Chain A
Amino acid sequence: MLLTRGERRRGIAWGLMSFASIALFVAIAVVALLSWDADGAQSRLFTAYTWRILRFTLWQAMLSTLLSVGLALPVALALARRPDFPCRTWIVRLLALPMGLPVLIGALGLIGIWGRQGLINGLLLTLGLDQPISIYGLSGILLAHVFFNLPLATRLLLAALERQPAEYWLLSASLGMKPLSVFRFVEWPAVKNVIPGIGALVFMLCATSFTLVLLLGGGPAATTLEVAIYQSLRFDFDPPRAVALALLQIVITGVILLGMALLPTPDDPGAASGRTSRRFDGQALSVRLWDSFAILAATVFLIMPLASILAAGLRANLWNLASSAAFLTAAWTSFSIALSAGMLTIVTALAIIAGREAVADMKKPAASARGFAAMLAGTSSLVLLVPPVVLGTGWFLVLRPLGDVGRFAPLLVAVINMLMALPFVMRVLEPAIETHRQRTARLSASLGLSGPSRLWHIDLPVLLKPLATALSFAMALSLGDLGAVALFGSNDLVTLPWLVYSRLSSYRTNDADGLALMLGIICLLLTILGTTGRRGAENG
């Protein structure tokens, strides 16, 4: 009972407000979808095309998951076994890079390496192979999904392996266990529990993948639900089909989320790089060679596209590009949307946290209060259930009768970006604020500090850093996002990713490469700012 009654009431009010606005925003979109010409949508739901898209969505997600997790396992095992591998810290950091890279930019890098004119096909052609590998269609989608998700899976698996007590390794060495036995008795039990959670996470990411499929799909045969929704609005202007697909999408994500909730969640990879235990096993040459191969192969696989972005980007006339009117307008639009989205995210997250704090502070919270706190936590992840394209579609239908949708577009994009960033920002801010409260709540209560003076003297100095972290994280996400803007992008609303995409699709690749490099660097810097700040907040 460290909050005054007024504070608690205000906290609840804030929580209620944020809950109400998010729920309303999502609900309006969903209701608009449901009430739009339901008959038409129903007839569109049961077509061969719809079912093929559904099947392809799930099929590619399953293959992507199997490949990402399956390939991540040997890499994680190797990295865990080799705490002294040269540049290991940098390799582990490299694993964090694709997460911070806008998907669009990563895809460009992949095309640079794996495209028809890319490095790999050039190599294969000189080796006498006459059939180039195609990056369009299923193979390209899988490749790209592995590029983005293998590092994530590796980090999560590595974290699980590194949590094993050092004594286990010592013991297994003194028992003279062979690598296979070590795997069976020490390593497997460690990863076995997290694999389903990781798998579900990767599956979720791949099943809702938008940008990669849009770019690399190459036709109706390789289309996911998200892309099909986008196409049925932007290509056909066929709202009933968009509605049918959007509803199908909600059902699918709902089922996956339910599955995920039942599985143990893998731990945050933030802590992965720190602890390493001394390992005594795997000294045989063959094992050493295998580990080096696994680590190097993964490193090369990840570095090549990044290097290609850099190389291609530097070839473009960066200065001309950066001073062109198109770039400056897009940069300004992107920046204002990102800043609004970032600020909105922070305010909403703080409101949600205030609400949860107020409930936690009650001596005996009623079931309704506890339910409210849980609901608030769920609200912050609502965007996972109702993906951006679906939200966009719903709001599109709501706003259309009011006139030009383009006028509302920047605001909508900012709000949708806010919802997308919210789950991540909550994970940064909530622990930081919780720790801070535990440390200072009693003190400030005993000093009688409350309201603005507490905010100014106690909260702000400490929380400034996690707040900045959360802001930069949310901004990076918004700056790199193509999903929300794709529905509304027009000549009047051009963000940086939209500019890259339109340059790319008119095959002015040189421009696209240069823009991609600039955007990629901005986003990576923001993310790095975000993650280092976060580690500081956790340790400090």
Chain B
Amino acid sequence: MRNIILSMFAAAAALSLYTVAHAQDKTLTVYTYESFLSDWGPGPKVKEAFEKTCACNVKFVGVADGVALLTRLKLEGQDTDADLALGLDTNLVSEAKVTGLFDAHGLDLAAVKVPGSYSDDTFVPYDYGHFAVVYDTEAMKNPPKSLRELVDGDPSQKIAIEDPRTSTPGLGLLLWVKSVYGDKAPEAWAKLKNRILTVAPGWSEAYGLFTKGEVPMVFSYTTSPAYHMVEEKTERYQAASFAEGHYIQIEVAGILKGASEKELAKEFLKFMVSPAFQDIIPTTNWMMPAAKISGALPDAFNKLVQPQKTFLMGSDEVARNRQAWIDEWLTAMSMN
């Protein structure tokens, strides 16, 4: 009998020791999009840099793309494991707030510098970039010079785009077309449809098709060519400058209300707007930093398209109309 009691004590002691040991090893769970986590993306470096400062583990969970990330959080509701969602953009902010799943960050964000000096009590910007059509100079001699030229151009020259239902670039293109065409957007889509090789669920998929040579144009960012210039030393892939102006994307992260590691999540957001994080962004996520970096941007960034005009819709307007515009898009795109 004594033996049993003793061994139970031992087990209890071991268990509590185990819990203590574990408590020191806190884990921050971050939901983000797929390309953030790829071997060449910012994920691995960010994890390493933050873990040095926090005595914790960073666990990244990848979802196809930014809109899918929000859908996933809606699906999981209050029970989500996520402490932090990284990879929504300003277009989705209002819709994300309406879910009631996010908590205000309560941080001072003077360090953040993004076009239009965007600031929000719940979401913190970590990078930005202008959307653009990126083309392969070897497959295309006369790239479109405006959105209208893209829509009206030769349908045999194809483009890979992203699905606005899953992807923030996809949604960006939808809003860009809406900004330029207004009520005539469905007609524009019906026409553009003939140029679309495939509608990929996420940016990685579309860009993968492009670099594999399956398609001469892809919907991406003005900053994408920098990757090829820096990493591959080639100017083969270029962004097309559009006369109407470019739609901008400001990517943000936010803390979940149900986060089990709320303090840690706040620490992460602070870290996110510090040079330690921002230095990683330009040459891994290939976007513009949202705060000061310690050095200068690589030369390649000076050779990129500099949009003359920037479109950005209010997040409330997007939240009000997203469903209707997606329905409109589906209807136009499903025309045979």
Chain A interface residues toward B at CB < 8 A:
47-49, 52-53, 55-56, 115-117, 131, 134, 136, 218-221, 223, 231, 234-238, 400, 403-406, 491, 505-507
Contacts and interface: CB of A to CB of B under 8 A. Distances in A.
Contacts of A115: 214
Contacts of B75: 237, 400, 405
Given A220-B334, A506-B208, A235 B163 contact: yes
9 contacts: A48-B331, A49-B331, A52-B331, A117-B212, A219-B196, A236-B71, A400-B77, A505-B64, A506-B38
B165 A231 contact: yes
A115 B198 CA distance: 13
Contact size range, B: 35 or more
A52 B329 CA distance: 13
Q: 8 tightest CB-CB pairs across the interface, nearest first?
A: A507-B208, A218-B198, A235-B165, A219-B199, A220-B333, A52-B334, A220-B334, A49-B330
B79 interface: yes
Interface string B293-307: 000000000000000
B334 A507 contact: no
Contacts of A52: 331, 334-336
A221 B205 contact: no
Given A53-B334, A218-B199, A505-B205, A234 B212 contact: no
A218 B326 contact: no
A223 B75 CA distance: 23
Contacts of B212: 117, 507
B249 to A, nearest CB: 19
A221 B335 contact: yes
Contacts of B323: 238
A237 B61 contact: no
A375 B189 CA distance: 50
Interface in B119-171: 156, 163, 165-166
Contact of A116 (B64, B67, B214): B214
Interface in B191-243: 193, 196-202, 204-205, 208-209, 212-215
A237 B198 contact: no
Nearest to B71: A237
A236 B74 CA distance: 10
B210 to A, nearest CB: 10
A218 B197 contact: yes
A218 B75 CA distance: 25
Given A220-B333, A236-B165, A404 B76 contact: yes
Given A236-B71, A237-B71, A237-B74, A49 B327 contact: yes
Contacts of B213: 116-117
Given A237-B75, A406-B76, 14 more contacts: A116-B213, A117-B213, A136-B197, A218-B197, A218-B198, A220-B334, A234-B68, A234-B71, A238-B323, A400-B77, A491-B62, A505-B64, A505-B201, A506-B38
A134 B163 CA distance: 19
Contacts of B83: none
A56 B335 CA distance: 10
Contact of A235 (B68, B197, B214, B335): B68
Contact of B209 (A220, A231, A507): A507
Contacts of A131: 156
A399 B184 CA distance: 42
B197 A134 contact: yes
Contacts, number: 88
Contacts of A404: 76, 79
B199 to A, nearest CB: 4
Interface in B171-200: 193, 196-200
Interface string B65-93: 00110010011110100000000000000
Nearest to A53: B334
B34 interface: yes
A162 to B, nearest CB: 41
A179 B163 CA distance: 54
A403 to B, nearest CB: 5
A317 to B, nearest CB: 15
A47 B335 contact: no
Given A220-B330, A237-B75, A404-B76, A136 B198 contact: yes
A434 to B, nearest CB: 46
A136 B205 CA distance: 14
Interface in B21-77: 34, 38, 61-62, 64, 67-68, 71, 74-77
Contact of B333 (A55, A117, A219, A234): A219
A507 B205 contact: yes
Interface string B99-134: 000000000000000000000000000000000000
Nearest to A44: B327
A369 B198 CA distance: 54
Contacts of B215: 116
Contacts of A406: 76
Contacts of B331: 47-49, 52
Nearest to A216: B198
A49 B197 contact: no
Contacts of A48: 331, 334
Nearest to A236: B165
B115 to A, nearest CB: 29
A406 B329 CA distance: 31
A344 B137 CA distance: 57
A53 to B, nearest CB: 7
Nearest to B68: A235
Contacts of B326: 236
B334 A49 contact: yes
A400 B76 CA distance: 8
Contacts of B204: 506-507
B87 to A, nearest CB: 15
A219 B165 contact: no
A231 B61 CA distance: 21
Interface string B10-23: 00000000000000
Contacts of B193: 219, 221
Contacts of A116: 213-215
